[in-house]
Amino acid sequence: MDFEFSPDQQAFAKEVEAFLDEHDDPAVFDVTRENMAQIVDTPARRAFMRELGRKGWLGITWPEEYGGSDGEGVYEYILNEALAGRGGPQIGKGVGIIGKTLIAHGSDFLKQTFLPMILDNDVEFAVGYSEPNAGSDAASMRLKAERHTAEDGRTGWLLNGQKTWTTSAHFAEWYWLGTRTNPDNKHMGITLMLVPLDQEGITVNGLWTLGNDERTNEVWIDDVFVPDEYVVGEVDKGFVYISQALDLERFTMFTFSPIKQRLDLLTDHVRTAVRDGEPLRNDPVIRSQMANLHTQAEVARVMGLKFVAEAVKVEHAAKAGEDFQPPTVVASEYKLFATEFSKRLADASMDICGPGSQLRVGTEDAPMTGRAESTYRYTVIDTIGGGSSEIQKNIIARRGLGLPKNF
């Protein structure tokens, strides 16, 4: 495959960089917030994303009939990588997971209600899949949804249960929620629903993570009524929709550019640092270690481009009305390699920078201004979010290599 961008794609990349230069703001861009922390959680970040919406960049790959540009996924990739490389908020859940699922499976009511708000960045979502006993195995979720008729005569579902590790629940307006509508069928008994978060019966409690003190949440749901019109797609088909969207999540949540930015920072440190009176760059062990890290970084980069190429093929097949398989294996391969490499890079940064690497991020006289320490904590989360490394290995083994489920 060709790993170079076309002239049009290169021109778009330059346009994006110029736009980001024009809107450079420390309240929006912070490289010390990595991957899953690159969210639209402040007024400044929300205003910036509205500017992206006005440019038409939040719906690059959406069909024109829904307000998009009907463009190829590579343009979305270029945009997301540029945002992530500067520590800015990414296009994320609304445009990708929620928007694309609604386009594919949502009712006319849901499309008309939510798609325009997503394109204008007038709404933020939280994604509720994980539960105390259903983490990477999303099909094990148990939050109960039972048929119910409200006092005003509306028919729908009454929800009771708990979700955990729900990033964004403390500031989002809507919950993209996986519910258990059929307790007798693990995979074909889950239904997706859209639920407003600011209502009685929903309690959001903060959970503070190892990753630079970023917040996620546990959410309690007690007798919350959801009308039928807020059910996404078919009842009991939610796991199918979740699985399709997870391919996108595994790729877009774990962009390559922040990893490259941290590798460049470490490289600059090695180039200039002195240990025991000798330049660190002359140490043969360090030189070998840095060569390996740069080689693995290039592998991660081209694996990401491979996913983009496969996703574009899927887009073309879908537009042509042809049968297609989502690039599940390629997504898992990239997510597994990139996040595990990110951990190895964090380990190397701690080792190479020595005792000073334990100083907190932002410490001016610390090696790499403390990035080694914060990155070391962030990367633990990266290998879990979007499906743990063990889950990615199982997907690759079964779907990619054809191995039996219990081997």
- Between CA 278 and CA 280 the distance in angstroms is 6
d(CA 87, CA 37): 9
Tens digits of per-residue pLDDT, 216-273?
A: 899 999 999 999 999 999 999 999 998 877 665 555 667 899 999 999 999 999 999 9
Token digits for 170?
A: 């403390």
Tell me the C-alpha distance between 286 and 153, whole Å.
71
Return the residue matching tokens 């346009």.
Answer: 15
Amino acid 113 reads: T
Q: Higher model confidence: residue 160 or residue 326?
A: 160
Residue 18, classified by CB atoms within 10 Å of its CB into exposed (0-12), middle (13-18) or buried (19+), is exposed
Tell me the two tokens of residue 188. 């074909």
* 180-208 pLDDT tens trace: 999 999 989 999 999 999 999 999 999 88
Q: Give the range with max mean pLDDT: 89-93, 148-152, 209-213.
A: 148-152
Cα 9–Cα 120–Cα 170 angle in degrees, nearest 5: 110
- In angstroms, rounded to a whole number, what is the distance separating the alpha carbons of residues 61 and 245? 15
Section 47-69 average pLDDT: 92
134 and 142 Cβ atoms separated by less than 8 Å? yes
Q: What angle do CA 263, 79, 72 make, to 5 degrees?
A: 125
Burial profile 23-43: b = 16 or more Cβ within 10 angstroms, e = fewer: eeeeebbbbbbbbbbbbbbee
Which domains, and CATH codes, for the chain? 7-90 (1.10.540.10), 127-236 (2.40.110.10), 254-400 (1.20.140.10)
pLDDT band for 406, please (50, 70, 90 cuts). Answer: low
CA–CA distance, 273 with 199 (Å, rounded to integer): 55
What letter would DSSP give residue 256? S
Q: 346 in helix, strand or coil? A: helix
Q: What pLDDT shows up at residue 92?
A: 74
CA-CA distance, 273 to 148, in Å (whole number)?
67
Compute the Cα dihedral for 117, 122, 128, 129 and give only its sign.
positive
What is the pTM for the complete model shown?
A: 0.88
Higher pLDDT, 179 or 384: 179
